[in-house]
Structure 1
């Protein structure tokens, strides 16, 4: 179907263009606009219609063909046209907000198109149908779309999506009234679009704002002008704009009024601030950037507008600067307020400090006045301590900051000297302890150093060193070292009040030289007072400081023992206190060198006579048991006693003796030794040797003169003595086990009898110890000790031998069982 009649031309069969003589809309519009040119539709316009690109909407070719425009010709204005009534024009203007200043509106006729298009007809052929008919065309097709939607949860009549937010109605189209661009005739949105997408269109807002501003200059449809609507800017808005919503830290007057030269145009422009650059298009003479000259208005005064704009900007800048200056001053007021509060607090603290210092100064001055000679109320050391205690409690900071050393020198030193001027520490050692304890708490700063140099600055230490120690030096210089008890008691009472370095100085420089000199003058042969009586009391205080005195004391004692005889018991009385004072090595060396040889010589002269025995010499030697070591005593006995004693026994047995007397003699000598000596293996072997000699003598004498029962008596003695030895060993082993158990696993697990001890030892060495059921020997239960048969009788273990039961020590039993 040809649409050429719409554009006023036609073609014949030969392809020659022919003008149509029918009256069209173009002809009607051309009657009112004689200069309207005919526009021939191009291929692009046929395809895109009103959306086709062109240089200008009003450039159309004339009827005779294309003709170039004369841009140099003057602008012609349309003098008349079809004008709507005032009421209709007003209604259209209010409803559509169309802004057309100084141009009269026309109502051209709409172009006709090929189809029967009606404004009320919907775009889609199907139109808007009920929701129940949605997708009903699938009844005539083989598609499965509706089935898939239903499988996925779609319910007919509701929208798609998880929350049924999908649109089910077809999209509506809205017909544009004119031929202008999109949005030229108002909003393009339909009722359905506004309902489904209730969002605000930014373009519509811009259009409404533009129409609002433009309506101020638009002519009234009735022929009159509307009253202009002016936009006012309040001072608060201006200040908010100038500060950017933030308070300025300082005035910006210099920056805002800087001179700016703009050379971007044809002419040089001068501005008074950077903010005027954004408004330079308002300055007269500025060339528009669009390149298209605007038509001058009827009443235009660019110079006046420029001046007014300049005054407005200067006023705005002044308002902004004043606001910034005001904000700056307010901030300064706040800062000065805070600073004033802080300074007030500081001032209050300074006033309090001044008052406290004045009180301290007043108190010190009163103390000085009361110390003057001839004062009615002289200051005492106790009252001065109370005053210093008050200063420390009430004015602590000032007391700590004050020079306590100067106060002590000026006030306390004279009082301390006066307090101790008539004191004798040897008669009253506790005098002044209470008052010096108070001064120690008041003045000492806690120095723990042993060095006098490090602690020299401590006020309390200097007080003792300069007032109390000189007084003590004078006392010690007159003291006799042999009268040690008063001096020792005095230092014991004051030791916790004296710094370490001062006590060391007293002991090393004052006490020790006096003791050393007295030891050099001591003579153990002539002095009636034992040296330990005036040396040993210093051991708790001086301890290792006395060791240099021990060597001279041992030398003097050794010289005194050169002519000593064991019959003189005074030597033991002199030496016994030094046994725990000398070191074990030095004591043993002293005994071996000076005592043991004399004891051996004395025992070598001892005579053993069974018929008339004198025991004095033997007692002189045995009295040194405990003073000399056990090995030294056993060595003396083995060398000087037992050989003679066994020889006497053999001689007696060879002369047809009375075995009962020999038994008593044997037991009598054995009772002369202590258990420690008898437990020594050397002494035990000697007495066992004597038993063996007696047994051999009884066994060899088989004559008629043989005493009845002698063999049984000696056998019984032998068995009894060996049982005692084993009982003693068992007791010692039990004591050792008990001590180990008490140190390790506690008292609850200590064996309570000898059987338990054997059981514990067997477990310790992984030895089987168990009773033999039904087997006894003389009523005693037999035990198996790793295949060794034993029984226990009164704390002694008996092992089964070839012919008889042999008593055995526990350690020997363990060695046999392994």
Structure 2
């Protein structure tokens, strides 16, 4: 009990002894002293100065001594050790800060110059790198208590902590941050000098950067006097980036930016963007300007709310005015651009109209020239001795050279027809169509580009000729179509109906061949379908193949180049039907049928010709070969074979081969077999050989010696002759 009491007396003076017992009650004084020992300060009985009174130098030095204490520092001793970081920072009161504002700029901290330090403080600075002799002290009231506890556990002065002495040697240093400064404010480093030295020994980077940041953060305005500039900070990564400085734009800058934006966004109308802020408890609408500006101290403070509200209202009104001006400027720019485009269109249209007026004036002069030439020709009876080219050719050439692509737009075809129609009407009254079917075609062909028709192609935007687009509306006849329909066609219709002989197709064929590329399509179709084909159809219906001495192809085939075979398909059917009726009583010895059918070989299709021959001709030829042809080596009659061979150019090769094989070689091989099977004294093999060669020559004259069926049949006969000559039994294959 006595030992315990002595132990407690050594460690804490606040203990009390009553009746041989130790009191463990904690009083308010114990708590205050404990707190003062933790913060390195001791409560003094020094009377605080009232507001406006100055400290004396001794009082100020005494207060600084207490304020700069640290953990484990004895406040009651004049030789107490001060923490190096506490000496480094050396924060003072407001009055002392004012006095230290004129400190030398060479100082990297707020500590005073060595000349102003007391002897005790100089000694403390010298001992900064040496192990502290006060290591292990707990507070000012328990001096040596912690040290004695460590020594009892084996620790010795100057050695590190731990069983092997590898722990720290110097006490844990503390570093006070300036008054009213938060953690990491303005890059303030919380590390002490000991921690920095340890970091350097470990090779960690960043310690020098933190020193520079701390120097700049703690430097006073007078530190950079005399021309010395603060050290440039390295752009190193920080745990917390500094808030960017707010940059405010002037009205001129905003309008200038809106002008640059107008150049890129003239195609789109000016619209105000809406941004909904849902990060807070309430939904609110913000603008781009609000997002670009971060909150400042003025916005976060609650001081002077009326003034701040009025300023914000003024700013919002000014910002709204600027936005309205920007939108108005963009709208005006768009309107200006639209108006410029409209002006450009109007200028272009004006230029086109001026060019068109110039062309119209030139066309008007051409029309006057044509009018004068037509009037002079009518007065001098020039229509009878001159043609269109001689009268108006010089004006027509100007039209072709100047306005070849604008004939229809300028109405030049109307001018041409206006002077052409009287001449055509006058001369067509004396025109004999069948005698001179090509009259007027040369003039029309030469000036056809000036005579517009609905069938003519048109030029597209690239200048290429394309078919004229078909309109749903009823097409109106052009002046040229009207002239040809009312003047030229009337005269041609009269000649076809009253003068033309169907057996003499050449004049009318020449007329249509010449005028076909020049006439409008509907006029050509009218002549063919209403005038020519009906008359030819009546003639074919009246044709009698038995009694008509003139073959039908002589007055039908000339129409093929003009009318083409597809127009005459019905007529061909009628002709085949009439020929088939006649061939029912026909004998192959009558060659007139061959002469009538042969010209149609290239006109009818292959299928039509084969069908007609198989039905009307082949049965007759098969019957004549089967009934009338006999193979007789003594007296051979070839007439039936000749009648059949005459059709070899019309009959297809497979059908002809089948006819020869079935109707000729069957009989021929049978006769040869009988001849070779006679007794040897009755068979003359030389005669057999000559007979064989003679038949080869007969088929060779018809160019059938290369026919497969003919060659195979003669090969069979030759094998039979070889068997008989060798004395072998003859086998009829």
Structure 2 length as normaliser, TM-score?
0.50
SS at match of 1:525: coil
Tell whether the 8 Å contact from 1:408 to 1:463 is kept in structure 2 after alignment. no
Alignment of 1:114-133 (within 5 A): 124-127=110-113
1:139 pairs with 129, 138, 142, which one? Answer: 129
State the Cα distance separating 1:547 from its structure 2 match.
1.3
Aligned equivalents of 2:508 and 2:715: distance in 1? 58
Q: Is 1:625 aligned with 2:645?
A: no
1:578–1:451 CA distance, 2 compared to 1 (3 A): farther
Q: Which residue of 2 aligns with 1:609?
A: 632
Matching of residue 481 in structure 1 with residue 502 in structure 2: yes
User: Which structure shows the higher helix fraction?
Assistant: 2
Q: Post-superposition shift, 1:539?
A: 2.0
Does residue 579 of structure 2 align to residue 557 of structure 1?
yes
- CA distance in 2 between counterparts of 1:160 and 1:396 reads 90
Q: What does 1:245-284 correspond to in 2, within 5 Å?
A: none
Distance in 1, Cα, partners of 2:561 & 2:368: 46
Distance (whole Å) between structure 2 residues aligned to residue 393 and residue 245 of structure 1:
57
Q: How does 1:719-798 map to 2 (within 5 A)?
A: none
Which has the higher relative contact order, 1 or 2, with Cα contacts under 8 A spaced 6 or more apart? 2
Of 486, 508, 526 in structure 2, the residue corresponding to residue 466 of structure 1 is 486
Native 8 Å contact 2:448 2:518 kept in 1: yes
Q: CA RMSD in A?
A: 5.7
1:536 offset after TM fit, Å? 1.7
Report the equivalent of 2:444.
436
Query: 1:770 is matched with which residue?
Result: none
Shift of residue 516 of structure 1? 1.7
In structure 2, C-alpha distance between the alignment counterparts of 1:613 and 1:128, rounded to whole Å: 160
- Residue 487 of structure 2 is aligned to residue 503 of structure 1: no
Task: Answer yes or no: is the 8 Å Cα contact 1:389–1:442 preserved in 2.
Answer: no
Q: Which residue of 1 aligns with 2:173?
A: none
Partner of 2:363: 360
Counterpart CA distance in 2 for 1:648 and 1:246 is: 116
Equivalenced residue count is 468
- Residue aligning to 1:72: none
Query: How is 1:277-676 mapped onto 2 (pairs within 5 angstroms)?
Result: 353-372=356-375, 374-375=378-379, 381-382=388-389, 383-384=391-392, 386-391=394-399, 393-394=401-402, 400-403=408-411, 406-407=414-415, 410-418=418-426, 422-424=430-432, 426-428=434-436, 430-444=438-452, 446=456, 448=467, 456-477=476-497, 478-541=499-562, 542-603=564-625, 604-638=627-661, 640-653=663-676, 654=678, 656-674=682-700
- Structure 2 CA distance for aligned equivalents of residues 136 and 487 of structure 1: 139
The separation in 1 between residues aligned to 2:559 and 2:393, in whole angstroms, is 34
Given the superposition, is the C-alpha separation of residues 147 and 504 from structure 1 closer, same or farther in structure 2, using an over 3 Å criterion?
same
Shift of 1:593: 3.8
**1:472-531 C-alpha deviation (Å, 9 max, x unpaired):** 323333222322334333333333323444333322222212222222333333434322
Unaligned 5+ residue runs, structure 2?
Answer: 1-43, 56-65, 68-92, 116-121, 132-169, 171-193, 233-250, 260-303, 307-334, 458-466
Q: 1:137 to 1:387 in 2, by over 3 A?
A: farther
Distance in 2 (alpha carbons) for counterparts of 1:333 and 1:521: 84
Distance 1:672 1:352 in 2: 85
How far, CA to CA, are the matches of 1:557 and 1:521 in structure 2? 13
CA contact (8 A) 1:427 1:486 kept: yes
| C-alpha contact 2:417 2:451 (8 A) present in aligned 1 | no
**1:622 and 1:438, CA in 2 relative to 1: closer, same or farther beyond 3 A?**
closer
- Would the alpha carbon gap of residues 145 and 533 (structure 1) be closer, same or farther in structure 2, given more than 3 Å must change? same
Query: Offset at 1:658?
Result: 0.7
Shift of 1:544: 1.0
Q: Does the CA-based 8 Å contact 1:566-1:599 persist in structure 2?
A: yes
Aligned to 1:294: none
Q: Which sections of structure 1, spanning at least 5 residues, go unmatched? A: 9-23, 27-46, 49-110, 175-187, 199-238, 248-288, 292-331, 702-710, 723-818
